[in-house]
DNA sequence: ATGCCTCGCACAGCGAGA
């Protein structure tokens, strides 16, 4: 089963690219972030015509998450919004049981500028996610937490093209990284690094600064696997080509295959 | 140090993204 995550940066502007990507890469499950649309503007008909059922948690202008499942797979919502979400007005989490796997689709707050209230919110939201992750972990089911985590795990060139340029950014702060690392220490597996232990693997390239052409990117979109899911991990990667197309999102899709 | 670009909203230019 191939599970992907893709921050599309606007379902309205990105729908043609999204449909093209679904057709080309055929994920079984796709977590989407940054719909930037209220529930009633989710293009359910077009998604269904592409061969996918969907659940979504929209919001006007900002945030918004969805989970798509290929026809034939039962998609059963298990959570909408995080329990103990510090600000439920943000639509940042949706979770479903699909194909025997629990899939949590998340859009972690960016947190800039830091320090400040937005960074505090990022850390508070992370705490609520850690609680949910602990509950899911304890279930001993195969679980995949997939999304835009807005955390660059390390300063290594393998995760970021130039750590100094991002030193003051919320994405690379020690507090953000510590929260991410707590999941790794608790036994969650970073699918990309399990398959590609070394070498640059970027998932985001800024629209500005000619970042894509210079490969000035970093890694913030992750799939974290519970032990029962990690035992089945066969492959993982980034659909870099998607970032190079016209009218592309600034994120590329990331995926993992479970046996 | 700032803007570089893009999105949504709404129809100008701004907030937000990362």
Helix (H) or strand (E) holding A130: helix A117-138
Q: pLDDT value at position A66?
A: 98
**d(C-alpha A235, C-alpha A257), whole Å:** 5
- Could you tell me which residues are beta bridge partners of residue A173? none
Residue A15, number of CB atoms within 10 A of its CB: 15
Mean pLDDT computed over A129-135: 98
Nucleotides of B under 7 A from a protein CB: 3-9, 15-18
- Could you tell me which residues are beta bridge partners of residue A5? A31, A254
| Catalytic hit among A93, A107, A202, A250 | A107
**Cα A195–chain centre separation:** 18
Could you confirm whether A107 is annotated as catalytic? yes
Cβ distance A52 to A26 under 8 Å? no
Q: At what angle do helices A174-186 and A117-138 cross, to 10 degrees?
A: 0
Q: Name the pLDDT band for A3 (thresholds 50, 70, 90).
A: very high
- DSSP class of residue A178 equals H
Q: Name the pLDDT band for A127 (thresholds 50, 70, 90).
A: very high
Q: pLDDT value at position A116?
A: 92
In terms of pTM, does the model score above 0.95? yes
Helix (H) or strand (E) holding A76: strand A75-80
Average pLDDT, chain A: 97
The residue behind tokens 């960016």 is A110
- Could you tell me which residues are beta bridge partners of residue A54? A68
Find the nucleotide nearest A90 (Cα to C1′): B16
Residue A58, number of CB atoms within 10 A of its CB: 18
State both tokens at A198.
Answer: 């070394």
Cβ neighbourhood burial of A161 (10 Å; 0-12, 13-18, 19+):
middle
Q: Which of A220, A160, A162, A208 is nearest to A5 (CA)?
A: A220
Could you confirm whether A206 is annotated as catalytic? no
Q: pLDDT value at position A196?
A: 97
Q: Name the pLDDT band for A214 (thresholds 50, 70, 90).
A: very high
User: DSSP readout, A179-228?
Assistant: HHHHHHHHT-EEHHHHH--SS----EE-SSTTHHHHT-EE--EEEEE-HH
**pLDDT (tens digit, 9 = 90+) per residue, A41-77?**
999 999 999 999 999 999 999 999 999 999 999 999 9
Find the nucleotide nearest A247 (Cα to C1′): B6
Sequence-distant (6+) residues with CB within 8 A of A199 are A158
Instruction: Estimate in Å the CA A165 to C1' B4 gap, whole number.
Output: 15
Helix (H) or strand (E) holding A93: strand A93-98
Q: Which of A244, A194, A228 is nearest to A101 (CA)?
A: A228
Cβ distance A69 to A76 under 8 Å? no
**pLDDT (tens digit, 9 = 90+) per residue, A135-177?**
999 999 999 999 999 999 999 999 999 999 999 999 999 999 9
**pLDDT (tens digit, 9 = 90+) per residue, A177-190?**
999 999 999 999 99
Residues, CB < 7 Å to strand B: A 7, 9-14, 34, 36-38, 60-62, 109-110, 112, 118, 148, 150, 169, 171, 204, 206-209, 218, 220, 247, 250-251
Mean pLDDT computed over A83-89: 93
Architecture per CATH, A2-258:
4-Layer Sandwich (3.60)
């Amino acid at each position: 089963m191939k599970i992907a995550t893709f921050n599309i940066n606007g379902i309205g502007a990105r729908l043609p690219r999204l449909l093209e990507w679904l057709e080309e890469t055929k994920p079984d499950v796709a977590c989407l972030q940054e719909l930037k649309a209220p529930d009633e503007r989710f293009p359910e008909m077009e998604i269904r015509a592409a061969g996918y059922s969907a659940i979504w948690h929209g919001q006007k202008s900002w945030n918004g998450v969805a989970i798509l499942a290929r026809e034939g797979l039962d998609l059963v919502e298990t959570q909408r919004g995080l329990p103990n979400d510090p600000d439920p007005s943000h639509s940042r989490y949706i979770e479903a049981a699909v194909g025997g796997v629990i899939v949590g689709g998340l859009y972690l707050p960016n947190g800039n500028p830091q320090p400040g209230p937005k960074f505090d919110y990022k850390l508070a939201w992370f705490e609520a996610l850690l609680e949910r992750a602990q509950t899911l972990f304890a279930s001993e089911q195969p679980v995949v937490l997939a999304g835009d985590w807005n955390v660059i795990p390390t300063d290594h060139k393998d995760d970021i093209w130039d750590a100094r340029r991002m030193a003051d950014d919320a994405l690379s702060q020690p507090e953000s990284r510590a929260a991410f690392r707590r999941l790794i220490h608790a036994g969650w597996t970073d699918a990309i690094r399990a398959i590609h232990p070394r070498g640059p693997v970027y998932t985001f390239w800024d629209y500005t600064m000619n970042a894509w052409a210079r490969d000035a990117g970093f890694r913030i979109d992750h799939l974290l696997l519970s032990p029962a899911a990690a035992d089945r991990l066969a492959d993982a990667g980034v659909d870099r080509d998607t970032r190079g197309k016209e009218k592309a999102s600034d994120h590329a899709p990331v995926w993992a295959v479970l046996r």
